[in-house]
Structures are given as C-alpha cells and as structure tokens.
C-alpha cells in the first residue's frame, strides 16, 4: 500500500497544506513507472473535467509537456478535480451527497470535506481501501488539535504547517502504509 500525497484546501479554495511522499526528482521526466502516478493522472483528469477554467489548463499544459508539474500546479489540478466532482455530485443527487473517492488505472483519490468547507485529499495506489475515516481522523486528531489554533486565515498557505502537525501526520501515514 502506498500513499503518494496529501492536500488540505481551505474555504477560500487555497491549498493550505501539501505533503508528498515518495518524492522523485522533480526536474526530469519520470523514469520509474510509479513516478508517473502522482501527477500525470491528475493532468488527465483535468482534461476530462473541461469545466475547470481554461486559464488553469493553459498554465498547466506547457509545464506538463516539460515533464513534471510543480507542487503548486499539482495542487491546483487536484483542487480543480475535487471541486468539480463535488459540485457535480451535489447537482446529481442532492446537496447532502458527496463523493468519497475515485480511482483511475493508476491511482485512487480519497476525499473528505468538513461542514466548514475544509477539503482533505489523499492520493494513494489503487489497492488502498477507503480512507475517508482516515481523513476524518486527520481532521479531528491532527488538524483541530495542532493546526487550526495557530492561524485562522492561513496567510500564504503556510498556516497549518506546524511542526506537531507534521510529525503527527507522518507517523499517522506510516501506520496506514504498513
């Protein structure tokens, strides 16, 4: 079981936290097969959801041709996907419904949203079980305990990157991966 990356988005649509595991060299084209799973599926997904802004795609495509996306571009694409999917699900089956995860051939995206519009996203390999509960636990035990009380408006998206939160997240993720 492998976990690729983790994102938190706040209610202002800002990515306030990113963590990527299994980091590979970001300046060269990925050579190992697992390397392509983090970013290329996301780029693919955004093609399909053409409702995400064209401006976003324009920004992204030149860089994706060059190989790897920056962490910020990844985050923007992930946000675009979950935002569109969430809104679509709500339109299709009512405002109380929300999507839990989706998977492609090469990765699975797990999603949890709080009533305060905080969005938690985890990208894993396809064999991973549903991690909605895990995301909820990250919210309850880590974000609320350590992250939230340091900064409310998260200026510059650095707000919750607090040492205790980092440590907690790392050890927590390790328990899932085993």
Q: Which residues are at the interface with other proteins (CB under 8 A)?
A: 11-13, 52-53, 55-56, 79-80, 83, 96, 114-118, 139-140, 143-144, 148-149, 152
Start-to-end CA distance of the chain, whole Å, equals 7
| Residue whose CB is less far from other proteins, 53 or 177 | 53
Residue bearing tokens 């990925």: 30
| Residue whose CB is less far from other proteins, 12 or 29 | 12
In the sheet with 119-124, reading across from the earlier edge strand, the strands are 15-20, 3-9, 119-124, 108-113, 101-103
| Residue whose CB is less far from other proteins, 33 or 116 | 116
The CB-of-151 to other proteins minimum distance in angstroms stands at: 10
Are the beta carbons of 139 and 19 closer than 8 angstroms?
A: no
The CB-of-125 to other proteins minimum distance in angstroms stands at: 28
The CB-of-52 to other proteins minimum distance in angstroms stands at: 8
The CB-of-1 to other proteins minimum distance in angstroms stands at: 26
Q: How far apart are CA 19 and CA 13, in angstroms?
A: 17
Q: How far apart are CA 129 and CA 111, in angstroms?
A: 13
Q: How far apart are CA 77 and CA 89, in angstroms?
A: 18
**R_g (Cα) of the chain, nearest Å:** 16
| Residue whose CB is less far from other proteins, 31 or 116 | 116
| Residue whose CB is less far from other proteins, 123 or 142 | 142
The CB-of-156 to other proteins minimum distance in angstroms stands at: 15
């Amino acid at each position: 079981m492998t976990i690729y990356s983790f994102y938190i988005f706040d209610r202002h649509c800002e990515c306030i936290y990113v963590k990527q595991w299994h980091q590979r060299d970001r300046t060269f084209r990925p050579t190992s097969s697992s390397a392509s799973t983090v970013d290329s599926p996301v780029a693919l997904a955004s093609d399909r959801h053409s409702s995400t802004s064209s401006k976003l795609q324009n920004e992204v495509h030149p860089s994706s041709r060059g190989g790897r996306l920056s962490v910020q571009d990844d985050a923007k694409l992930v946000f675009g996907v979950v935002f569109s999917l969430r809104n679509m699900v709500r339109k299709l089956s009512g405002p109380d419904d929300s999507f839990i995860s989706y998977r492609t051939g090469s990765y699975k995206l797990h999603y949890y949203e709080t009533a305060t519009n905080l969005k938690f996203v985890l990208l894993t390999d396809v064999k991973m079980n549903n991690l909605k509960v895990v995301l909820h636990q990250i919210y309850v035990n880590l974000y609320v305990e350590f992250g939230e009380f340091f900064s409310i408006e998260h200026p510059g998206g650095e707000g919750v990157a607090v040492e205790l939160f980092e440590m907690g997240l790392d050890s927590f993720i390790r328990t899932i991966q085993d």
